[in-house]
């Protein structure tokens, strides 16, 4: 079994690299835990790091802007208090940090840093203009999950926050141990310890594998509360689902919540019900079932909407409920959810997967779907790992778990030293092969199962492990030029995917002048051949020159002189446009830069060696 201590050591390795300052440690910790927890990154949200002196009790802030086109009808601010290592010294720490946050939001703290001061200004504007669908969430991020007393203190913070800022305020906690619990199943082929959770329901029909009944809304909520208390992470309840909670910003979830709030007694009439799978099931008196290692595989939106409303209305505190509240609680007891419980057994992975797929076929695929459930990727993973000696990660945190396992078992084979994340490889492939650098930089949903680009990529007849490995080589090449947040050159802060597009465009031009085919599979073979012969770096050098020149203010044919850019002067929006790099109309200066670079590259001293390698590969 992989020990948490070993997993934590591996998980923290990149955070501790290069002797960072205390502030840098906190920033890195917050960034990584956000990424692995809810896969929050620059493509899905704006991330503001403000840990350090004058942070006002906010180490990191995440802003998810309302986007009706994506079904996100309200804005969300997530305020993170990052407690790296032993910084959390008990429940009193939670109270003290929350007091700092409240004082900051109420304008009672002076001496804020310039970054925090700007952030607080935005938060105050948000609070004064917020609507019913907007949210303000305070998250405590730690190494180990909070104990019961610490959770109680955090719940008290929620009550106080709602008294000050309204029902939009909520709290949550996340830890490295949360991530560990998520990935342990994949390594151990079990959820971990046998987690038994009670569900009070009325079973009206049953077979050996299937139990059907009805569960009241309060009993569904009680089941979820016990699960979260025992596991430390409610999201684990949905680890076998094809999608996670889409949030109450989607129309279907808004409808579910409205029913609970206004007509809870009619809930069963309006809702299709939920499906729970479990390894073991036992009966006791009073209709109580004990479910071992349960997962909700259909009804994620339903149950999380129940959780959202009942958490807000039943766990908000107050010893003197109004008559309206009492009347609603009585009606709530009449609301039921049709419940299917499928007994899959400890080794019932096939039945579990089939149940998950077929119970979700009627639903539109959402943005949080799991690549891990895709049959193609489940097939490609062992083939990719064995053939290329690189660990293909299909679930965040699995690489840290693998390294921890290898550390405990140094003689295990294969012994991996490199990894690649499947989701990131799809983005690299789209940016290069499909000429989609803007979407790769700006959005995540199109690359999740069911997304437009996911379907386009995996449905290519030639797409498979070779394509994934070529995308890995492209990603690895980009890694050597220092892209992303904290890039030493300003030109490389937001241009990783644009660089990938330029690299493949140059390779494509080489094939063109050799009279070779330029299909996607030919480009895959070309990239692999150049990488194997250590020639791909020459293409990378040419491509990075294009990027640096294009992103230099005042330079001829720069991004700042693009006609479309000058209309808005919004660099971020321009680089995230789906039109980027596709035509002379949208980015003529980029096309000019590329044309010049390709002419120079064809005449360079490395051209003979590159042409020879491509002739042999294609």
SS3 372: helix
Calculate mean pLDDT across residues 598-610.
92
Q: Tell me, what's the pLDDT at 352?
A: 47
The yes-or-no verdict on residue 88 having pLDDT over 80 is: no
The arithmetic mean of pLDDT across residues 286-299, rounded, is 87
pLDDT at position 247 over 50? no
Distance CA 611, CA 618 (A): 10
CATH architecture assigned to 4-179: 3-Layer(aba) Sandwich (3.40)
> What pLDDT score does 368 carry?
38
Q: What is the rounded (10 degree) CA torsion for 195, 172, 65, 55? A: -140
Considering only CA atoms, give the Rg of the chain.
26
Q: pLDDT higher for 162 or 189?
A: 162
What mean pLDDT is predicted for residues 157-185?
85
Distance CA 45, CA 445 (A): 13
What is residue 144's DSSP assignment? Answer: S
Higher pLDDT, 415 or 346: 415
> For residue 25, what are the contacts with CB-CB under 8 A and spacing of at least 6?
15, 16, 84
pLDDT-based confidence at residue 321 (cuts at 50, 70, 90): confident
Please tell me the predicted confidence (pLDDT) of residue 115: 66
The pLDDT score that the predictor gives to residue 70 is 57
Is pLDDT above 90 for 114?
A: no
Q: In what order do the strands lie in the sheet with 196-200?
A: 196-200, 288-292, 280-283
Task: pLDDT band for 299, please (50, 70, 90 cuts).
Answer: confident
Distance between CA atoms of residues 260 and 217, nearest Å? 9
Higher pLDDT, 341 or 89: 341
Pairing outcome for strands 196-200 and 169-175: unpaired
- How far apart (Å, rounded) are the C-alpha atoms in residues 71 and 64? 12
Q: Domain segments of the chain: what residues?
A: 4-179, 191-316+323-365, 428-617
Tokens encoding 407: 């550390």
User: What confidence tens digit (pLDDT) does each residue in 327-372 have?
Assistant: 999 999 999 999 999 887 654 454 445 444 444 433 333 343 457 6
pLDDT band at 72 (very low <50, low <70, confident <90, very high): low
């Amino acid at each position: 079994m992989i020990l948490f201590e070993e997993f934590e050591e591996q998980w923290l390795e990149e955070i501790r690299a290069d002797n960072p300052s205390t502030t840098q440690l906190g920033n890195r910790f917050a960034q990584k835990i956000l990424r692995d927890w809810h896969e929050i990154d620059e493509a899905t949200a704006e991330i503001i790091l403000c840990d350090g002196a004058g942070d006002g009790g906010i180490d990191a802030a995440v802003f998810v802007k309302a986007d009706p086109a994506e079904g996100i009808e309200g804005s969300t601010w997530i305020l993170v208090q990052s407690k790296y290592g032993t910084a959390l010294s008990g429940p009193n720490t939670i109270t003290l940090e929350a007091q700092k946050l409240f004082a900051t939001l109420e304008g009672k703290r002076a001496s804020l840093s310039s970054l925090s001061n700007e952030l607080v200004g935005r938060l105050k504007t948000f609070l004064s203009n917020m609507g019913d669908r907007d949210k303000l969430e305070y998250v405590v991020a730690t190494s180990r999950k909070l104990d019961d007393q610490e959770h109680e203190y955090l719940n008290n913070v929620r009550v106080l926050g709602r008294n000050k800022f309204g029902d939009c305020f909520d709290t949550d906690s996340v830890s490295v141990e949360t991530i560990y619990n998520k990935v342990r199943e994949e390594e151990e082929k079990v959820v971990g310890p046998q987690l038994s959770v009670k569900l009070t329901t009325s079973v009206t029909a049953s077979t050996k594998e299937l139990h059907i009944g009805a569960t009241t809304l309060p009993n569904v909520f009680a089941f979820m509360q016990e699960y979260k208390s025992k596991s430390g992470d409610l999201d684990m309840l949905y680890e076998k689902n094809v999608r996670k909670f889409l949030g109450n910003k989607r129309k279907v979830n808004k409808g579910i919540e409205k029913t609970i709030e206004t007509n809870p007694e009619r809930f069963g009439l309006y809702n299709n019900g939920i499906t729970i799978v479990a390894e073991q099931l036992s009966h006791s008196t009073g209709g109580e079932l004990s479910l071992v290692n349960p997962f909700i595989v259909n009804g994620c939106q339903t149950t999380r909407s129940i959780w959202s409303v009942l958490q807000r209305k039943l766990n908000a505190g107050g010893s003197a409920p109004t008559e309206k509240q009492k009347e609603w609680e009585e009606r709530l007891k009449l609301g039921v959810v049709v419940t299917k419980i499928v007994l899959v057994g400890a080794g019932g992975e096939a039945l579990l997967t089939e149940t998950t797929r077929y119970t979700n076929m009627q639903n539109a695929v959402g943005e949080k779907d799991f690549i891990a459930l895709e049959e193609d990727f489940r097939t490609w993973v062992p083939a990719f790992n064995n053939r290329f000696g690189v660990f293909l990660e299909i679930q965040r945190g699995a690489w840290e778990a693998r390294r921890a396992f290898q550390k405990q078992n140094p003689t295990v084979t294969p012994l991996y030293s490199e990894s690649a994340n499947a989701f990131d490889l799809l983005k690299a492939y789209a940016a290069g092969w499909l000429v989609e650098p803007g979407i790769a930089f700006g959005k995540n949903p199109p690359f999740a199962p069911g997304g437009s680009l996911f379907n386009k990529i995996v449905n290519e007849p030639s797409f498979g492990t070779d394509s994934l490995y070529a995308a890995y080589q492209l990603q690895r090449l980009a890694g050597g030029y220092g892209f992303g947040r904290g890039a030493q050159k300003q030109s490389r802060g937001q241009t990783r995917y644009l660089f990938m597009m330029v690299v493949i465009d140059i390779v494509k031009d080489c094939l063109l002048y050799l009279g070779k085919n330029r299909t996607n599979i030919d480009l895959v073979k070309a990239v692999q051949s150049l990488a194997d012969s250590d020639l791909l770096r020459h293409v990378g050098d040419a491509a990075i020159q294009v990027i640096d020149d294009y992103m230099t203010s005042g330079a001829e044919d720069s991004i700042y002189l693009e006609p479309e850019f000058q209309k808005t002067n919004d660099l971020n929006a321009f680089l995230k446009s789906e039109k980027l790099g596709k035509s002379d109309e949208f980015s003529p200066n980029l096309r000019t830069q590329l044309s010049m670079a390709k002419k120079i590259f064809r005449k360079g001293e490395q051209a003979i060696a590159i042409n020879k390698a491509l002739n042999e590969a294609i």
